A = this chain, B = another copy of it.
Amino acid sequence: MAEYRLLIDTSDEKGLVYTVSKILFEHNLNIESNSEYVDKEVNKFFMRTVLSGEFNKEKLLIDIKDALPNDARIKLSANSKKDIVILATKEAHCLGDILIRYVSGELNANIKAVVANHDTLQDLVEKFNIPFELVSHENLSREDHEDLVIKAIDKYNPELIILAKYMRILNPKFVTHYQGKILNIHHSFLPAFIGANPYKQAFNRGVKIIGATAHYVTDDLDEGPIISQDVVRVDHTYSWQNMRDAGRNVEKVVLSNALSLLLQDRVFVYGNKTVIL
């Protein structure tokens, strides 16, 4: 029996749980799990329900839409593999972690292609029989390069774009084109060490803990809604390269965890925050 995930976010009002659970009951659906969250401060209601059963999808969505406030956003997503495209530059650790999960059958996604601005990772990607699209930025303006990247991605029509250490700043045009679909890993514990060379910054500041942050990409560089973060201890014996090496373990795990949350449709975004149900 197929499983579906129903995601609702809407302005809050009394009786929403009752309203939605009544409709699900009337459609004879099984609730496998259910979570809600209300942000009182901004009067927002979030609900994620895992459903199973035989039902009329269009009818269900219409019934829910009719019963909810006008600003409600409703999403019904089957528990099936999502198509993704990965962007990378030269570093293998994040990409490699996803590839190993993929080949082990742990990743609930189809990797349609890897797009990169260097050919460093081509051999690795092709070992896994995944298309590798090299889009060099050499002799191109940022805009022209990005247009080519967009073209390379759009061939595959992915639901999600994963920036697995893609070391290029993105223009608003790119971000708008894939609104709400771009996951990035930033190699610092944001908002500490925004910008270039965070490990050098961390080394120079003499911190005792470093981290990594997976976030949705918005126009504001390093300012998108945070999905997942983790840290690791360092000490005075670490050079900035040692910090980078230690950080790589955190980066890959944080990115893979965030990707897993997205593939399970567990992340809501509002403002520059996430709700994870």
Q: Taking beta carbons and an 8 Å cutoff, which residues of A are in contact with B?
A: 14-15, 17-18, 21-22, 24-25, 30-41, 91-93, 96-97, 99-101, 103-104, 106, 123-124, 127-128, 189-193, 205-209, 211, 225-231, 233, 235-237, 239, 245, 248-249, 253, 256-257, 271-276
Q: Are B93 and A104 in contact (CB under 8 A)?
A: yes
Residue of B14, B100, B245, B276 near A30 (CB, 8 A) is B14
| Whole-angstrom CA separation of A126 from B190 in the bound complex | 39
Interfacial chain B residues near A32, Cβ < 8 Å: 38, 40
Residue of B208, B225, B229 near A226 (CB, 8 A) is B208
Interfacial chain B residues near A24, Cβ < 8 Å: 18
Interfacial chain B residues near A30, Cβ < 8 Å: 14
Q: Are B274 and A206 in contact (CB under 8 A)?
A: yes
Interfacial chain B residues near A97, Cβ < 8 Å: 97, 100
Q: Are B228 and A231 in contact (CB under 8 A)?
A: no
| Whole-angstrom CA separation of A228 from B249 in the bound complex | 15
Nearest-neighbor residue (CB-CB) of A245 within chain B: B106
| Whole-angstrom CA separation of A228 from B208 in the bound complex | 6
Q: A17-B21, A190-B207, A192-B189 are in contact. Are A273 and B236 (CB under 8 A)?
A: yes
Interfacial chain B residues near A18, Cβ < 8 Å: 18, 21-22, 24-25
Residue of B21, B33, B35, B226 near A206 (CB, 8 A) is B226
> Whole-angstrom distance from the CB of A210 to the nearest CB of chain B?
10
Interfacial chain B residues near A92, Cβ < 8 Å: 100, 103-104
> Whole-angstrom distance from the CB of A215 to the nearest CB of chain B?
9
Q: Are B229 and A207 in contact (CB under 8 A)?
A: yes
Which 8 residue pairs of A and B lie closest in terms of their CB atoms, listed nearest first?
A96-B100, A206-B273, A18-B21, A192-B192, A127-B127, A92-B104, A17-B21, A18-B25
Q: A97-B100, A273-B206 are in contact. Are A249 and B256 (CB under 8 A)?
A: yes
24 pairs from A and B in contact (CB 8 Å cutoff)? A15-B21, A17-B17, A18-B18, A18-B24, A33-B37, A92-B103, A93-B101, A93-B106, A96-B103, A96-B104, A100-B124, A189-B192, A190-B192, A190-B205, A191-B192, A191-B193, A206-B274, A207-B229, A208-B227, A209-B211, A209-B229, A249-B253, A249-B257, A253-B253
Nearest-neighbor residue (CB-CB) of A90 within chain B: B104
Q: Are B236 and A276 in contact (CB under 8 A)?
A: yes
Q: Are B14 and A34 in contact (CB under 8 A)?
A: no
Q: Are B33 and A25 in contact (CB under 8 A)?
A: no
> Whole-angstrom distance from the CB of A163 to the nearest CB of chain B?
18
> Whole-angstrom distance from the CB of A209 to the nearest CB of chain B?
5
Q: Are B236 and A275 in contact (CB under 8 A)?
A: yes
Interfacial chain B residues near A256, Cβ < 8 Å: 249
